[in-house]
Amino acid sequence: MCVWEAVRELMTESRTAPTSPPHRCVFCRFCSPVPAGRRERMVADIMNSAGSAGRRWSPFRSIKVFVLCHSLLQLAQLLVSGYMKSSISTIERRYGLSSQKSGILAAFNEVGNTVLIVFVSFFGSRVHRPRYIGGGALLACLASLLMAVPHFLSGHYTYTDMITTSTDNKSGLCFSSLPSNQTCHKKDSDTQWAVYPLLLLGQLLLGIGAVPIQPFGISYIDDYASRRNSPLYLGILLAMTSIGPALGFVTGSFLMRFYVDFDKLPRGEIKLEQKDLRWVGAWWLGFLVASSFLFLTALPYLFFPREMPKENEEGDQESRTDIEPPPMTDPVRDLTLLQFLKSFPRIALRTLSGPIYLLVVLALVNMAALVSGLATFMPKFIEKQFSQTISLSNMMIGGIGMPLAVLGVVLGGALMRRFNMSVRGASKLCTAAILLCLISALPMIFIGCSTQKVAEVYPDRNSSPKCSAGCGCPPDAFNPICGSNGEEYRSPCHAGCLNKVMDADNKPTNFTNCRCIYDGSGSAQPGTCGSSCSHLLLPFIILMGITSFIISFTQTPSYMMVLRTVPPEDKSFAVGVQYMLFRVLAFLPGPVLYGSVIDTTCILWGQKCGQRTSCLYYNLDSFRKRFLGLMVVFVCGALLCFLLTMVVLKRRAGAFQLPLRTNGRYEMVGEQTAPEKEQKAPEKEQKAPEKEQTPMKT
């Protein structure tokens, strides 16, 4: 019997009598006989082809296209986050913010994210996920634009001793008759109060827009990707989460080389150099670039369907059958919003009652707080401690620290896969990695130098030299110069300089007849003397890279322990509770805590229009010890949690294991086959609690 006759036979076999005489296929003599065992499969293929013949192929019905779009979207969204951290010290200098305010600004995007992330578990299976992802991306695009608005509302960036005319040869010198403060303008005074709220609003909207992107995207891919390709797709997304922030820092490194007002001033009027302590880069430009990237990556989500064909297991081809939504087994789907909100605390407390889960999450919270603070303020630390530009500092973080951390995550997962580690083995690996991290982090505290000698600032703050007493120096003057005696002065006026030499571009090259330098016979060069620690930058970066590489080893084993120590029905809640704790206990307070600690090391605050602005000079010894000491405290907290995890697991020896013949799947003892269970001694089977015998796969 040929294929076409088989189709006709199956379509008419349920009828009591045929409505038309049998029709023989005109191609019967050319058709090959069909074995009875293959008839049904061939008929199904023909019917599926016929059912899809009237439907045109669309790239938006392919899960592979969705993975590509989502990878680009996550790259854009996390690029904004990384760029914000790379430009935080520049924004701080431009608008006179303290480090504590900068920390609040850096962490403020987590406020909206924390409040709304709870509802993702409830609405995840009830809404059009691609459109919600696209809406969140467009909101993030708007937020990124809003972050750049203060630049266009503010006037030109003005600083002390800014030369506005070619005949202004006495600006900032001793006995200068110019006003004491050239930086106070009415326009800046009117708009300054609105800058910080605008930046906070932009960060808040950025956090809200990011809420649906990752959770909805991962669940959508998991629903419609084949089991074979799903880990690959999720691995690509995980790589984007690491590459995005690194790309943000690299972008910041490039854009900070441009002067902040290059769009407002002719090139000839830009007098500052990158090494000048008053230099402010084009921090706003990156937000415009990121906003354009977000807009382009958000558009495809408006065309993806709510449900798409399930990817076929064989050959990884898209199934051509009619769309059938995946079976919904999530108990959250049967709850109302009120029931969900009532049940969430109960389930969260039940999840946190597990000692292993609680200890591992607390260890991860310590590491998350560490990373959030270091990522925000490490560029500033490198800039101040080793007298480097902010551009180079960002490149050190984005080009060295973060790639090594990504490599550590990958190798940590490969190590677990290679040795088939159990939960106890994973806890030992985490403990060993954190211990090595502590060993590599401790020497960093001692790599650095003291603050350079600055007249009237450090080391003797209360000294008031008579040489500049009659110069009438404004208290807010800040134009650092380095005297020929090796001492730094806040401005030429504070050094008692009477004259300056200008080059062809009207930039000062030398200050002469300085009363405070060799009794008036000395001179000074524009710019800071520096901390004399630039030669220690290389060993510090090496230790920082090693520390990042080692501590990242713990990410994969820690997540594995979290997933394998909770019941299957609570696994999604456990991950949600974990990320909520990250935000509440780490990402929100971490940058604020680091910023507050940095502010305690300031020895000279700037002033503008009679108000305190950002810090001008830090006690570098205190800065280094407190900043890196806080990092060591968090590392010790993580080490303590992992040590306690090992103690708890030792008392439950044998409860968790990874069978050798599982093809890399993590599963519990309760997932063994019946013959394997019969070979076990009865007393060993009774040691594991009933809850831990539940099958668990990741």
The pair of structure tokens assigned to 126 is 């009830």
Distance from C-alpha of 217 to C-alpha of 131, rounded to nearest angstrom = 11
* Most trustworthy range by pLDDT among 224-233, 367-376, 666-675: 367-376
Residue owning tokens 């990410």? 555
CB neighbour list of residue 662: distance below 8 Å, 6 or more residues apart: none
The 10 Å Cβ neighbour count of residue 360 is 29
Q: Kindly tell me if the per-residue pLDDT of 3 is higher than 50.
A: no
- SS3 at position 165: coil
Give the end-to-end CA distance of the chain in Å, rounded to a whole number.
Answer: 48
Q: How far is the CA of 106 from the CAs of 83, 375, 578, 596, in angstroms?
A: 11, 10, 21, 13
* Least reliable range by pLDDT among 18-22, 88-92, 609-613, 672-676: 672-676
3-state secondary structure of 431: helix
Contact 90, 285 (CB under 8 A): no
Tell me the C-alpha distance between 416 and 407, whole Å: 14
* 457 conformational bin, left if phi > 0, alpha if psi -120 to 50, beta if neither: alpha
DSSP assigned state of 321? S
What are the tokens at 480? 């650092």
Q: What's the CA gap between 387 and 378, in Å, rounded?
A: 13
3-state secondary structure 31-59: CCCCCHHHHHHHHHHHHHHHHHCCCCCCH
What average pLDDT does this structure show over 487-508?
Answer: 85
Give mean pLDDT, residues 491-518.
Answer: 85
> What is residue 287's predicted lDDT score, i.e. its pLDDT?
95
Percentage, residues of the chain above pLDDT 70: 75
Q: In this predicted structure, what is the pLDDT of residue 334? A: 60
Which of helix, strand or coil describes residue 220?
helix
The structure tokens 């709220």 sit at 197
Encoded amino acid at 318, one letter = E
Q: Can you tell me the distance from the alpha carbon of 86 to that of 88, in angstroms, rounded to the nearest whole number?
A: 6
Residue 56: predicted pLDDT: 64
User: What is the pLDDT averaged over residues 318-340?
Assistant: 53
Cα Rg, the chain, nearest whole Å: 32
pLDDT at 60 over 70: yes
What element of type H or E holds 524? Answer: strand 522-526
pLDDT the model gives residue 124: 58
Nearest to residue 542, comparing CAs of 637, 437, 401? 401
Taking the C-alpha atoms of residue 220 and residue 615, their distance in angstroms, rounded to an integer, is 47
By three-state DSSP, how is residue 171 classified? coil
Q: For 603-644, how does the pLDDT look when each residue is reduced to its tens digit (9 = 90+)?
A: 999 887 777 888 999 999 999 999 999 999 999 999 999 999
Tokens of 435: 């211990």
Winning range, highest mean pLDDT, from 25-39, 211-225, 422-436: 422-436
Q: Do β-strands 481-483 and 522-526 pair in parallel, antiparallel, or remain unpaired?
A: antiparallel
The answer to whether 140 and 209 are in contact (CB under 8 A) is yes
List % helix, strand, coil for the chain (3-state, nearest 5): 60, 5, 35
Contact 402, 548 (CB under 8 A): yes
Q: What is the distance between the alpha carbons of residues 287 and 301, in angstroms, rounded to a whole number?
A: 22
pLDDT band at 54 (very low <50, low <70, confident <90, very high): very low
Q: How far apart are CA 150 and CA 79, in angstroms?
A: 20
CB 25 within 8 Å of CB 4: yes
Tally Cβ neighbours within 10 Å of residue 622: 18
DSSP string, 132-143: HHHHHHHHHHHH
For the segment 317-346, the average pLDDT, to the nearest whole number, is: 57
> 341-345, 348-352, 478-482, 564-568: which has the highest mean pLDDT?
478-482
In the prediction, which pLDDT does 80 show? 92
Structural domains present in the chain: 59-160+191-310 (1.20.1250.20), 344-452+530-655 (1.20.1250.20), 454-529 (no CATH)
Q: How confident is the model at residue 21, as a pLDDT?
A: 46
Contact 365, 590 (CB under 8 A): no
The residue to which tokens 């890196």 are assigned:
628
* pLDDT tens readout for residues 97-147: 899 999 999 999 888 888 787 776 666 567 788 898 999 999 999 999 999
Report which of 452, 424, 407 is spatially closest to residue 658, judged by C-alpha positions: 424
181 Cβ neighbours under 8 A, 6+ residues apart: 160, 474, 476, 608, 609
Spatial neighbors of 621 by CB under 8 A, at least 6 apart, are 448, 450, 451
658 pLDDT tier (thresholds 50, 70, 90): very low
pLDDT of the residue at 128:
85
- Residue 482: which H helix or E strand, with range? strand 481-483
Least confident of 6-20, 196-210, 416-430: 6-20
127 token code pair? 């809404």
CB within 8 A of 468, min separation 6: which ones? 174, 493, 494, 495, 496, 515, 516
Please state, in angstroms and rounded to a whole number, the distance separating the CA atoms of residues 388 and 383.
5
pLDDT of residue 200: 93
Average pLDDT, integer, range 210-237: 80
Average pLDDT of span 531-543: 88
3-state SS, 372-427, equals: HHHHHHHHHHHHHHHCCCHHHHHHHHHHHHHHHHHHHHHHHHHHHHHHCCCHHHHH
If one counts every other C-beta atom within 10 angstroms of the C-beta of residue 419, the result is 11
Position 213 scores a pLDDT of 86
Question: For 450-474, how does the pLDDT look when each residue is reduced to its tens digit (9 = 90+)?
Answer: 888 888 888 777 666 677 777 878 8
Write the pLDDT tens digit of every residue in 263-313. Answer: 888 887 888 888 888 899 999 999 999 999 999 999 999 999 888 888 775
Q: Place 161 in a pLDDT band, splitting at 50, 70 and 90.
A: low
CA 463 to mean position of chain CA atoms: 45
Has residue 36 got a pLDDT over 70?
no
The C-alpha angle 213, 218, 222, rounded to 5 degrees, equals: 150
